[in-house]
Each structure stands twice: as structure tokens, then as C-alpha cells.
Structure 1
Amino acid sequence: MRYLLVFLAILLAQQSISQTIFPDFLEGTWKRKDRNHYEHWDKLNPRTLKGFSYLFKNGIIVVTEYTTIYHKGKEVVYSAAVKGQNAGKTINFKQTLSDTALVFENLAHDFPKKIVYKKLTDSEISVQISDGEQKKYSYRLLKQHTTNTVLDSTNANPNYNATLAQKLGADDYGMKMYVLVVLKTGSNLTDDKEFINNVFRRHLDNINNLVEQGRLILAGPLEKNERTYRGVFVLNVTSLAEADEILMTDPAIQENLLAYELFNWYGSAALPEYLPSADKIWKLSP
């Protein structure tokens, strides 16, 4: 009997660990109760929430943080990239189960080590940021509704087209998340001109294929510079992992003639609309 009880205890512990709660209630736009700061979350799929924090400065949105909550196996991970901190690196926090709140922890990080979201009502959330001990601060988030808030873009824009905005995946400000790719010289420094020309010919063909698939909406070279940056892409995806998969179809990257750096980028959701016009103004194919 004693061994049976031990087995049951272990089984229940494993079940409680695996029963992580996904914070769907975060979807939407939230405003801090004490200041003019906002959080916006979009549910990309049943396993992923994509968000960002921002404030208004002289009437312009200033993004301060990019965030993602996603399933990783049986775990739920909260990842955050704060502008101007951690050299732009994303910091991950693992969700731990709580009966009263959702707790995300990374005890190896300096600050914060713990992020707690507690749903008070459908329209109010309590947030606590702490080092797990003495250093902490808390604030409330209030749900914003377009019918009664100055954030309703339809009140300010007489040309607003809801159908087009929905088609393009635009938020209330006509914006959306992309992945910005900075291409740079890779580790393969061969001087075989025939090989290089062949690879970059296929590199350009791959660019055209990605444009036709709707996954690449902007591409262009950079002038010679000290950082060996060669060009930029804007990919019409929100996940850095998906961007990696797309870029590995590029022959120049496969052959290490090019390398890259990735950045989350918040830009106009209308960017893809320029592509039909772009196809009408070139005379010669590169």
C-alpha cells in the first residue's frame, strides 16, 4: 500500500506539472491603470500569443518590448525582448502552475526573475514583476474596448476599410509584426567566381519564389559598409523560428556566402499592397 501511495503521488505531481494553463484571456489591448502604457496581445493560434508593449510619445507609438507566449512541448514559455536591455536578446521565462495566478520564472535572470499575471475580472488584470524576494512592483491592466476608448481608429480615420484591415492582419493602428532580416557576409570566403555567380543567381530566383508565396515583401542590397552588412529582407511572418526555416531555402545562406541576423519589427500592415505595383515598374530582370 505504501508503494501504491507513492506511485499515485508521483502520478498526480506529473499531471499537475503538465496541466499548464494557457493565458488566452490576455488577447486584446490593455492599458496600465496608473500611466499611459499599453500591452497588446494577438492569438496567432491555439498555442501562441504574440504581443508588444508601447506608449505614446508626441502622438506616435513607441514600442518598448516584444513578447511571445507559446507552448514548447508540455511547457508554456514567456519570452521577452526589451528595447535597450540585454543587448536585444530575448529572455525566456518558464510558466509554473498556480491555483490563483499565472507565474513565469527564470531564476537565472537578474531582474525580473518572476512575472505574475492574475486575472481579476474579464476587464482587469493584476501584474507583478519581481526578483522573487524583496524587489518587486505591481500594476493593474484594464481591457480597452474600441467602442469607448480613444484607441478606436475608426473614430479618427474616415477612410478606414475594415475588410482590407482584416485581410492584411492590421491592428487598430494599421500595423502588424514582421521579421526584419539583416543579411551579412558569411563564413565562406571563396573567390571562385563561377560558383559565386551560380549561387547568387539561385539566390535571386529564391527571392522571387518567396515573393510569389507572399512570405517575402521587401528585399534590397545595402551599400558597402564596415559591418559587412549586405542587404535586408522583411518577411511576412511573426515567428523567428519560421523566419529561420524560410531563410534556409536561400542557396547563398546554405552555402555560407551569406549569414543573417533577425529582429522583430512592427510596421505598416499595408506593406504587401505595394507588390503588384512593383511588378509593373521594372524594365530588366536582375
Structure 2
Amino acid sequence: MKVFVFSLFLFFGISQVAFAQVPYFLEGLWKQEGKPVYEQWNKNLDGNLKGFSYKLQSNGQMLVTEYLDLQQEGEILVYKATVLDQNQGKTISFPGTVSGNSYTFINAQHSFPKGISYQKISQDTLQVLVFGGERQFTMRMVRVNPENKTSTSSTSYDAKLADSLGADAYGMKSYFLVVLQTGSNKTTDKEFINTGFRGHMENMDKLVKENKLIIAGPFGKNDDQFRGIFILQNLKTIEEAQALVNTDPAVKAGLLSFKIYPWYGSAALPMYLPYSEKISKEKP
């Protein structure tokens, strides 16, 4: 996991002071000096910050490595990280403390990192530290395209539409990808199976109406027992997504199991929904 740097004093000598507010100076795109590593932070409608880290590959494609959140929980600001190849995709929380322009988040129970710090050096420069035990990494990050530089802005940008879709500066947003698999219940009771999957379809319709489910579809025959996928939106955590999928009658009955992954895609993805009924001659 990446982060923002300080002296070890900030980890071991910082006073336990609750955050007065979310550090909005993080909003924008940041690049690690000397490496094609970036972090993008955006303010949500609820006033919290949501971000993600990525590497820019040689072919120009973004490789997302983790999803980040800075959420006010009572009087404490909590840093949450979901690293795609660690912790089995689970989100790890780091409660925060503050000292001047230095923000430190610590979870002593986590194996590595145990602490993450951000220090504002200037409006366009951050110092970064990530540590745990004898291991630590430091780096400097600089803001990419500060607000007074607009040469890369799209001429067709529609701010009102972007805001309504929850889009970030790249027209993207975070979703949850659900992979449905064959469940542990191997019953051959056709009535039980039909009832479970009828409820499965009805529940999908319900989630669409609640503006939570935007994509669903089955896999073809495969050796991995993959049955289908959901893409869920307007959810803050994997735990919320898990609770939502667990309302599915086929999942409750053990006919289906599932795995959930954070996913980053176009914020315009839900716009196809109004047209889906117009091109469907029959309902499944």
C-alpha cells in the first residue's frame, strides 16, 4: 500500500487529537516523483473523500492497485484501503490523528502497513510515509495539473451530467463486481430450485429499482462454476455489498455463492438502463 511521508516521530510521538475536518487539500491527482504511480482523490456528495491508486503502464493503460476512502466517523477521520491483491480483497481501516499539517493513520493489528501518514508540504506537494515494524517506505508526491492549468480539459465536458452520475475527473467511479458461483446446496428438488431462482430474478428487479444493480448476466458453460455477474453501485463498502447480495433468495438457499471485488469503470455505465426495456422483446 502507498502513502504519504514523515519522520518516525509522527508515528510514535503524535498527540491523539480528533480531526476537525476531512483534509480536502488531497483533492486532485498526485504523482510519485520518479515513478509512474498516481493517486486520485475526489470529494463525495456526503463530504468524504474517495480515491484510488494506479500505475501507468508503458502502453498508456491504467492498472488500478487499490481503492481508498477518508471517512468522518463521529469525531475521528478513518482511512480505509482495499488493496486488490492483499487481505483477500477486504477493506482495512486505519483510525487517524492530526498534528498541524500532518495526518497519521494507525492500525497496530494489521501486519503491514501498521501506519500511514500524509504531510502537506505545500499546496502541490505531499510527503509520504508507510511503516510497520522495521519496514518503512517514504516518497514525495506532486500534484498533477493544478487548478490553474486546464490544457488537458475536455472541450465536451458536461459538469452537470458528471455530477449527477458521481463521476470523477476522468469520468469514472467505483463499483463492486460480484461473481456468482454454484453454491454448496446440491439439491435436485426442482420445485425448491425453481422457487429459489424465481426469487433471484425478482430480487434483481428490486435492486435495479433501488438504483443499486446496474449490470447482471449469466456466464456460458465453464469449468470454474461461474454462474453470472452483478455490478453494484452507490455502496460505500464491501460489507454493504455483501449484505445486499445476501438478500438474494438463491444465495440464502445455498444455490449460489459469490465473491465481491472493487471495480473502477465509466460513471456513464448506468445510462444504458433506460434503453434496455426498449430493446427487450420478451422478459427472461
Q: TM-score, normalised by structure 1?
A: 0.80
Separation (CA, whole Å) in 2 of partners of 1:213 and 1:139: 42
Which stretches in structure 2 are left out of the alignment for 5+ residues?
Answer: 1-14
Query: What's the secondary structure of 1:78's corresponding residue?
Result: strand
Separation (CA, whole Å) in 1 of partners of 2:206 and 2:166: 22
1:223-257 C-alpha deviation (Å, 9 max, x unpaired): 23333221100012242233233223322223232
Separation (CA, whole Å) in 2 of partners of 1:227 and 1:128: 40
How many Å apart are 1:167 and its aligned residue? 2.0
Q: How many residues align?
A: 267
Residues 218-237 of structure 1 mapped to structure 2, 5 A cutoff: 218-237=215-234
The AA in structure 1 aligned to 2:85 is: G
In the alignment, which residue of structure 1 is the partner of 2:4?
none
In the alignment, which residue of structure 2 is the partner of 1:187?
184
In the alignment, which residue of structure 2 is the partner of 1:209?
206
Asked if residue 63 in structure 1 is aligned to residue 64 in structure 2, the reply is yes
In the alignment, which residue of structure 2 is the partner of 1:284?
282
The AA in structure 2 aligned to 1:114 is: G
In the alignment, which residue of structure 1 is the partner of 2:272?
274
In the alignment, which residue of structure 2 is the partner of 1:91?
92
Q: CA RMSD in A?
A: 2.7
1:30-60 C-alpha deviation (Å, 9 max, x unpaired): 2334433321122335574221012322232
Separation (CA, whole Å) in 2 of partners of 1:141 and 1:267: 25
Separation (CA, whole Å) in 2 of partners of 1:88 and 1:18: 30
How many Å apart are 1:81 and its aligned residue? 2.7
**21-30 or 273-282: which moved more?**
21-30
The AA in structure 2 aligned to 1:256 is: G
Contact 2:125 2:140 survives alignment (8 Å): no
1:66/1:256 CA distance change after superposition, 3 Å: same
How many Å apart are 1:132 and its aligned residue? 5.2
Contact 1:179 1:263 survives alignment (8 Å): yes
Residues 166-185 of structure 1 mapped to structure 2, 5 A cutoff: 166-185=163-182
Query: What's the secondary structure of 2:221's corresponding residue?
Result: coil
How many Å apart are 1:276 and its aligned residue? 2.0
Separation (CA, whole Å) in 1 of partners of 2:74 and 2:253: 32
The AA in structure 2 aligned to 1:202 is: G
In the alignment, which residue of structure 1 is the partner of 2:241?
243
Contact 2:33 2:139 survives alignment (8 Å): no
Separation (CA, whole Å) in 1 of partners of 2:46 and 2:262: 21
1:105-138 C-alpha deviation (Å, 9 max, x unpaired): 2334443222111122333322112235563323
Asked if residue 78 in structure 1 is aligned to residue 76 in structure 2, the reply is no
Query: What's the secondary structure of 1:59's corresponding residue?
Result: coil
Separation (CA, whole Å) in 2 of partners of 1:42 and 1:235: 20
Separation (CA, whole Å) in 2 of partners of 1:185 and 1:123: 50
Separation (CA, whole Å) in 2 of partners of 1:46 and 1:164: 18
Residues 248-263 of structure 1 mapped to structure 2, 5 A cutoff: 248-263=246-261
Contact 1:48 1:70 survives alignment (8 Å): yes
Separation (CA, whole Å) in 2 of partners of 1:160 and 1:218: 25
In the alignment, which residue of structure 2 is the partner of 1:40?
40
Separation (CA, whole Å) in 1 of partners of 2:63 and 2:206: 34
1:106/1:53 CA distance change after superposition, 3 Å: same
Contact 1:81 1:91 survives alignment (8 Å): yes
Q: TM-score, normalised by structure 2?
A: 0.81
Contact 1:153 1:172 survives alignment (8 Å): no
